[in-house]
Amino acid sequence: MTHWTVTQSIENPTTALMEGPLFKAKCSSGKKGFIPHLDGKEGDQMTPAGTYTVRQVFYRPDRISHPHTKVKIDPLSPDLGWCDDPHHKFYNKLVRLPFSSSHEKLWREDHVYDIIVVISHNDDPVVPFAGSAVFMHLARDDFSPTEGCIAMRLDSMLKFLSMVSVEDPLHFIAS
């Protein structure tokens, strides 16, 4: 088992450093920094500090070759979304589009969701209003902040995916 840490920067609370064995990567994080995971709320734009595991990976097969990983991985398709409606029974879960309640489209024009790493945030059990769609995904070129996710460059993501396994803890640490 490998322990991975994502530590919030003291100098810039919307950036972080991810570290593991022989691995270091700059990351962007939530627009409003980090928050203890039990205090997080839907739409707060904060990265929930806590310990998680990787549940699943999705990738855009029209843009990226199948990444090498020991984690369950599936290709994205234009009909996939993620429910962010706290009143819906599929809150914080993968859904098929069209979907009548509030949701995030996973097939995007930009490249940030070309790879999505689903982590164990608010999923066992799912608690309404405690936050949804907190992923690891690709960073924008300027490392601009996210809505609460952790984002890194493609080369770093591919290296991470080649090393991580489902039992590895991911520690998101606030400064």
Active site residues: 137, 149
Question: Are 128 and 89 in contact, with CB atoms under 8 Å apart?
Answer: no
Distances in Å between the Cα of 30 and the Cα atoms of 14, 42, 151 are: 6, 13, 9
Cα–Cα nearest to 69, from 164, 173, 137: 164
Computed on alpha carbons and rounded to an integer, the radius of gyration of the chain in Å comes to 15
- The 10 Å Cβ neighbour count of residue 133 is 22
Residue 76 and residue 59 in contact, taking contact as beta carbons nearer than 8 Å:
yes
Query: What is the biggest distance separating any 2 CA atoms in the chain, rounded to whole angstroms?
Result: 45
According to DSSP, the residues that pair with 170 across neighbouring strands are: 4, 52
| DSSP symbols for 5-26 | EEEE-SS-TTEEEEEETTEEEE
